[in-house]
Amino acid sequence: MRRLGDLEAAIMDVMWAADGPMPVREVLTRLREERELAYTTVQTVMEILFRKGWVDRELKRRAYLYWAKASREDYVAGLMAGALDESSDRTAALARFVERMDQAEVAELRAMLDAAEPGEPVA
């Protein structure tokens, strides 16, 4: 999985923080707190995110309302899986990752693995 671009990530941050579907204009308003952007720029990037499957949309009157299709955690998990795919030795890469975790995170991971049924995804 490829990392989101800077503006894609900023838009997704807005979408992940939203209470519900949002029009482009509202996303633009929230983004303008940090930087000056054109409406058409945000609209174009949101269309790209729609085509990539990160957001969904519904036409209401004359404007689309957008919402995130996947969570931030889904995105991060995809990046982690992609990073593991880059290694010729997934086990060694995973071991190095776990070595960098603090003890509380290791304990959480251990509890999730212990609770997982064999053959079922850990959730």
Domain count, the chain: 2
Shared domain check, 57 and 27: yes
Do 30 and 48 have their domain in common? yes
Instruction: Say yes or no: 49 and 92 in one domain.
Output: no
Does 91 score more than 70 pLDDT?
yes
CB atoms within 10 A of CB 21: 17
pTM comes to 0.80
Which structural domain range is residue 84 located in? 72-115
pLDDT at position 111 is: 93
Residue 25 falls within a domain, yes or no?
Answer: yes
The answer to whether residues 14 and 33 belong to one domain is yes
**Same domain (yes/no): 12, 57:** yes
* For residue 123, pLDDT beyond 90: no
Q: What is the mean pLDDT of residues 48-52?
A: 96
Say if 101 falls within a structural domain.
yes
Report whether 75 contacts 5 (CB < 8 A): no
56 near 50, Cβ under 8 Å? yes
Is the pLDDT score of 42 beyond 70? yes
- Those residues whose C-beta lies under 8 Å from the C-beta of residue 39, and which sit 6 or more positions away, are 24, 25, 28
pLDDT tens-digit map of 15-38? 999 999 999 999 999 999 888 999
Neighbour-count burial of 99, counting CB atoms closer than 10 A to its CB (0-12 exposed, 13-18 middle, 19+ buried): exposed
C-alpha distance from residue 38 to each of 27, 31, 33, 43 (Å):
11, 10, 13, 9
Q: How many CB atoms lie within 10 A of CB 51?
A: 9
